[in-house]
Amino acid sequence: MSDQADSPQTAGISTELENPAYYVNRELSWVSFNQRVLDEALCPGAHPLLERVKFISIFSSNLDEFFMIRVAGLQDQYEAGVQDRSVDGLTPMEQIEIIRERVLEQFRQRNDCFYNDICPKLAEQGIDFVEYRNLGEAQKEVLHDHFRSEIFPVLTPLAVDPGHPFPFVSNLSLNLAVQLEDLETHVLKFARLKVPVVLPRLVRLDQIDGLDFGDERIRLLWLEDLIQNNLEQLFPQMRVVQCHPFRVIRDADIEIEEDEAGDLLETIEQGIRSRRYGKVVRLDVMPAMPEAVRNILIKNLEINPACLYEISGALGASDLMEMMSIEMPEHKDEPFAPHNPIEKKVGGDVFSAIRQGDQLLYHPYDSFQPIVDLVTQAANDPQVLSIKQTLYRVGKNSPIVEALMNAVEQGKQVAVLVELKARFDEENNIGWARALEDVGAHVVYGLVGLKTHAKLTLIVRREHDKLRRYLHLGTGNYNPFTAKIYTDYSYLTGNEQLANDVSELFNALTGYSKHTTYRKLIVSPVNTRKRIISMIDREVEWHKKEGKGRIIMKMNALVDKKTIKALYRASCEGVSIDLIIRGICCLVPGIEGVSDNIRVRSVIGRFLEHSRAYYFRNGGMDEIYLGSADIMPRNLDHRVEALFPVMDPELIDVVKSDLELIISDNVKAWQMLPDGSYQRIRNDRPEVNSQDIFLAQASKKKSISKFKVNGL
């Protein structure tokens, strides 16, 4: 499988389009995206109070992963002496320095927002963050006993001296650096204590027996604060001189030499274990930590001082997600019941619905339950002969996998491609792979050197003495939980041409087929880049003929330089281009004479915009592809991806209407400026919050496709 050939137009790229000023750095673009996530917390009226806390947690978790993967990669390049410049002309070290500057400013904004804005508002609503030192003696006595019974047994203090080498500090762990004085010898000693992840990070004081404050307020105490103030129980006959929290983030990318891996599953398991031991890429400390203690950590963790980040406030703010368990619905997003059109049409019989015509679902506004029902019905249907499916991220307690296991037990042929290399989901996927193998399913792990990211299900059913195939093609994962918070499309069809393509693709994934010609599907790494660029170039030709060229692309990231150049060329010819890109965008819009006709928007709201949709006016014969692929080299060259055409003209209109609505958003949308920065879209038109409108339509049990934006 390969996608090496360029279109004739691509081969003649002008040297002008090589100008670094026409491109945005991939890593810095991601930092800008995470700034937009943080801004959802910074804006007081954007979300209910606890949802703002959630966005602070998401921002912090995103940043941890960014350092574990992307910053770690930049540091590797620098240490290896790589001086190659990025597409915008920066060396690895220059990128690291700019990232550090911007991230430190983001930490300042985050903590200012949380401590000076959100916390006072939480207090007004009866939620207090308290410090141990401010509690009364009677309250401290109760907590002393609570610590002894509930926390002390879990803790493991580790001495550091000539007989005890500096202990390993695991990835993402919060720790205490403790300096002690031996009361007999008066010798100073050093110890490390890990704050256990098996306990809640936020201690609910209002839920501890015997702890009485005389009111009904919710009081939260950071676990490390409780531990710090009870260290004498861990170190008898010692005086605690000082104690300071620190947090470590390590390189967590797994490198796999698949040609040398006889058992990929075993190799991935080893990689997961080694992830804990990667080099330190960020050390978080608080301002109060003295230089001497910092130097001990820098020396023993073997880091460059530039990897040390001084952060005010509690470390590891991603743990604030625990606050979402607080029962205060008035300070959270209003719950909603997704629309289930298939249940409404045919009582939930998914096969019957597909026989009536292609079905399009837009999650989370449309329920994910029909997809679960499809696999469940197939497992229990005596007329179903086989099920083939790709699994990338399915999560825990997956009803999809349970249904597949049941299908095997019902005697059906079940073939499942489980992508073991789905980053940070490897452990879940290994468990499901083994469970499926144990019941007798055919389990494969994809092609050597490629991640399988395509979202496909193929069901073969006997009907009236002939075989009929049913398909589910999606833009998101087979995960009912994330389907409630990610926007994604599901396409259900029995189209024979698509079924033939999907059958051929499964044969390529599970066997030795070298099939590379598909009728309707666009497949990476076979031809995605080539086909996307050819459709961009085709739009240029149509525009030259009739002057109505239009392209809309919605994706998570746009990085591929060849595709960006094709979009620049189309803009130069006058084609109107709207790009809806949630995260990374390396294209620069609005450059005079280059990208005047390109607009880039990013929507950050209640739901994670995850769907990919590619629209081309095509001379009035509208064409739309949905699928799993973003326009990034990794998706085009190093993954198995599938983009599929929407075949039904009415459903093409539905997706186009969805895209036009998102483009009209002037509440949750950001516009990218020619300097690469973003600003919120604000205009004098009536407010359009696209996600709220989709929700409103779903709550009325109407198809979201009925909405039309005035003037579009």
- Decide if pLDDT at 490 tops 50: yes
Percent of the chain at pLDDT > 90 equals: 76
Q: CA angle, corner 361, sides to 598 and 380, nearest 5?
A: 145
Least confident range of 186-190, 282-286, 440-444, 575-579: 440-444
Residue 453 a catalytic site member:
yes
b/e map of 188-216 (b: 16 or more CB within 10 Å)?
A: ebbbbbbbeeeeebbbebbebeebeeeee
What is the bridge-based pairing of β-strands 413-418 and 384-391? parallel
3-state secondary structure of 161: strand
Which two tokens mark 237? 């006959």
Task: Express each pLDDT in 637-690 by its tens digit.
Answer: 999 999 999 999 999 999 999 999 999 999 999 999 999 999 999 888 999 999
3-state secondary structure of 93: helix
Which one-letter amino acid corresponds to residue 669? A
Q: What is the mean pLDDT of residues 551-568?
A: 97
3-state secondary structure of 229: coil
Q: Could you tell me if 632 and 559 are in contact, meaning their C-beta atoms sit under 8 angstroms apart? A: yes
Name the CATH superfamily, with its identifier, for domain 341-510.
Endonuclease Chain A (3.30.870.10)
Q: Kindly report the number of other CB atoms within 10 A of residue 235's CB atom.
A: 18
Residue corresponding to tokens 């326009």: 631
Task: Express each pLDDT in 613-627 by its tens digit.
Answer: 999 999 999 999 999
Q: Among 661, 663, 670, 669, which residue's Cα sits nearest to residue 696? A: 661
- What is 453-465 written as a DSSP string? --EEEEEEEEETT
| pLDDT band (50, 70, 90) for residue 465 | confident
What is the bridge-based pairing of β-strands 486-493 and 608-609? parallel
3-state secondary structure of 177: strand
| pLDDT band (50, 70, 90) for residue 438 | confident
Q: Among 481, 451, 460, 469, which residue's Cα sits nearest to residue 391? A: 451
- What is 392-455 written as a DSSP string? S---SS-HHHHHHHHHHHTT-EEEEEE-TTSTT-HHHHHHHHHHHHHHT-EEE---TT-EE--E
Which two tokens mark 159? 């001495």
Evaluate whether 8-19+522-706 and 126-331 have a shared fold: no
Q: Return d(Cα 487, Cα 693) in angstroms, integer.
A: 14
Q: Return d(Cα 609, Cα 487) in angstroms, integer.
A: 5
Q: What is the mean pLDDT of residues 167-180?
A: 94
Q: Torsion over CA of 591, 596, 597 and 603, rounded to 10 degrees? A: 50
Q: Could you tell me if 651 and 358 are in contact, meaning their C-beta atoms sit under 8 angstroms apart? A: yes
Q: Could you tell me if 603 and 690 are in contact, meaning their C-beta atoms sit under 8 angstroms apart? A: yes
Indicate which residue of 363, 453, 472, 610 is catalytic.
453
Q: How far is CA 301 from CA 144, 169, 281, in A?
A: 33, 8, 10
- Decide if pLDDT at 702 tops 70: no
Task: Express each pLDDT in 187-228 by its tens digit.
Answer: 999 999 999 999 999 999 999 999 988 899 999 999 999 999
Q: What is residue 197's DSSP assignment?
A: T
Task: Express each pLDDT in 44-60 by its tens digit.
Answer: 888 999 999 999 999 99
Which residues have a Cβ under 8 Å from the Cβ of 399 and sit 6 or more positions away?
372, 376, 480
Averaged confidence pLDDT in the chain = 90
Q: Return d(Cα 407, Cα 397) in angstroms, integer.
A: 17
Which two tokens mark 561? 């330089």
Q: What is the mean pLDDT of residues 442-463?
A: 88
Q: What is the mean pLDDT of residues 452-478?
A: 95
Residue 254's DSSP bridge partners are: none
- Cis preceding linkage at 364, omega within 30: yes
Strands (E), 86-233: 127-129, 158-160, 174-182, 188-194, 202-204, 218-222
Which residues have a Cβ under 8 Å from the Cβ of 218 and sit 6 or more positions away?
126, 127, 128, 204, 206, 326
Q: Give pLDDT, residue 229.
A: 96
Indicate the pTM of the whole model.
0.91
Which one-letter amino acid corresponds to residue 67? F
- What is 600-636 written as a DSSP string? EEEE-SSSEE--EEEEE-GGGS-EEEEES--BSHHHH
Q: Give pLDDT, residue 45.
A: 85
Which one-letter amino acid corresponds to residue 694? F
Write down the domain spans for the chain: 8-19+522-706, 126-331, 341-510
Q: What length is written for the chain?
A: 712
- Decide if pLDDT at 272 tops 70: no
Q: Which helix (H) or strand (E) holds 335?
A: none
Residue corresponding to tokens 């075949």: 647
Q: Give pLDDT, residue 428.
A: 67
CATH number of 126-331: 3.30.1840.10
CATH top class, domain 8-19+522-706: alpha beta
3-state secondary structure of 390: strand
